[in-house]
Structure 1
Amino acid sequence: MNLLLIEATDYIDTHQVRITGRRLAHIRDVHQIEVGQSLRAGELNGLIGTAQLQNIGEHEAIFNLTLTEQAPKVLPATVILAMPRPKMFKRTLQTMAAMGVKEIYLINAYRVDKSYWSTPLLSESAIHEQLTLGLEQAGDTLLPKVHIRKRFKPFVEDELPQLISGKRALIAHPYNAKECPEPSLEESVIAIGPEGGFIPYEVDMMQQQGMEPIHIGQRILRVETAVPVLLSRLFPIQ
């Protein structure tokens, strides 16, 4: 945890917070700070600064906050992600949050197992937990928005055209695709398929709406690896 992320329910006064649970355990067991010392901290969807420890016990820690800095720059990327297997899903959500993605669409595809949509990891609280873990890792406070779309065709026909309008629109696809373009800060939409990739019908549908298939080389990567590789190839390091 490189940033103590503060949520609205933590406040006990204007500049004072109470920390409990997982974050308290991490502060106590990993950071091992003493009263008077400070941690890097930030308010969810707000400013970043420091949190000075006032008191710590078995069940809570009290910090005074001084928040004056802006969060890191947002990555100009919207990721359309075919729902991965649950174990991979957690890590991928954390990675996207850590790398600065702020808009995520989880979609269905032919090669997405139906059982994936019944995972408890899709609950609002579970998604929030994984995203905040990614923000804590990166030192960011801006929470990504996650949209769940379980029907592929209506999403592509009804929502995708407006979503990609005026943006660089790309499909990560290893076959009959152009080489990954040079890094750019251009607003972009990137579609990433499931294990085994999108089927030709799905690629054709997205192409008809204006998306362009690209590849990142001969190697076929797992989703959790492809996501950070793609983002680091498409956007300059900030």
Structure 2
Amino acid sequence: MNLLLLSPDDLRADGSAVVEDRRLQHMLQVQRVEPGQQLRAGLLGGLMGQATVQQLDSHQAHLTLLLDQPPPAKLPLTLVLALPRPKMLKRTLQTIAAMGVQRLVLVNSFRVEKSFWQTPWLQEDSIREQLLLGLEQACDTVLPEVILEKRFKPFVEDRLPALAAANLKLVAHPGEHPECPRALGEQPLTLAIGPEGGWIPYEVELLRKADFAPVQLGPRILRVETAVPALIARLY
């Protein structure tokens, strides 16, 4: 936990904060915080700065706050990602939040097993928990937007064009395609990444019709949890 991420519920009327949950246990057991110590802190959706520990015991930490710095800018990236299997989903959500993705669309694909959509890790609270862990790791306070799309064809044909309007549009797919570009800077991008076996030809064709250009990273087939950070790092 590189950033003590506070929610509005942690704040008191005088502008101080009280922490009582897993963050307190991390402060006690991992950071070994003592009264008077300063920590990097931020308010969810707001500014970052310093928190000074005024009182601390096994039940509560009382903090005074000086939050006067903006969080890092989000990447101008909408990531359309075929739903990974549940164990991989948790790690991928943390990575996406840590790397500053602005919007994530989890979408169905022919190679996504139906059971994946039944996982409790897709519950709103579970998604939020993993995203918060990513923000704490990277020192950020702004959650990415997350959208669930269980029907591939209606999404690509009816809703994706508006989401990707005016953006560069790329679909990562193994094969004889141009290399993925590098260092886009501030170029807004919508990037589609398929399941580990790749999109099926029908899905690639639908994305092509939506003006998505296929690109590749080379001859190796990567796991989703590897492909996502590799592509984001290369592009931005």
Q: Same fold by TM (over 0.5)?
A: yes
Name the SS for the 1:174 alignment partner.
coil
Structure 1 residue runs of 5 or longer lacking an equivalent are none
Deviation at residue 74 of structure 1 after TM alignment:
1.0
Counterpart position of 1:231: 232
Unaligned runs of 5+ in 2: none
CA RMSD of aligned residues (A): 0.8
What are the Cα deviations for residues 47-84 of structure 1, in whole angstroms up to 9, with x where unaligned?
Answer: 00000001111111111110000101111111001000
> Where does residue 90 of structure 1 map in the other structure?
90
C-alpha offsets along residues 152-204 of structure 1, whole Å, 9 cap, x if unaligned?
01100001111222111000101132111121120000101012111000000
Contact preservation (8 Å) 1:176, 1:213: no
Q: Which amino acid in structure 2 is aligned with residue 83 of structure 1? A: L
Task: After TM superposition, give the deviation of residue 13 of structure 1 in Å.
Answer: 2.5
| TM-score normalised by L of structure 2 | 0.98
Aligned residue in 2 for 1:219: 220
- Deviation sequence 1:61-116 (CA, Å, 0-9, x none): 11111000010111111100100000000000000100000200000000000000
The 5-angstrom pairing of residues 201-216 of structure 1 reads 201-216=202-217
* Aligned residues of 2:53 and 2:62 also touching (Cα < 8 A): yes
Distance 1:139 1:182 in 2: 25
State the SS of the aligned residue for 1:31.
Answer: coil
Q: Deviations over 1:14-57 (max 9, x none)?
A: 42111112100000111112111110000001000000001111
Q: Matches of 1:21 and 1:155 in 2, distance apart?
A: 39
Q: Within 1, Cα distance between the matches of 2:113 and 2:87?
A: 13
- State the identity as a percent: 52
**Number of equivalences:** 235
Tell me the distance in 2 between the aligned counterparts of 1:216 and 1:201: 21
Matched, 1:137 2:132: no
- Secondary structure (helix, strand or coil) at the match of 1:58 reads coil
2:73 alignment partner in structure 1: 73
Of 198-207 and 56-65, the range deviating more from structure 2: 56-65
Is the contact made by 2:44 and 2:141 (CA closer than 8 Å) also made in structure 1? yes
Answer yes or no: is the 8 Å Cα contact 1:170–1:214 preserved in 2: yes
The alignment's TM-score, normalised by the length of structure 1, stands at 0.97
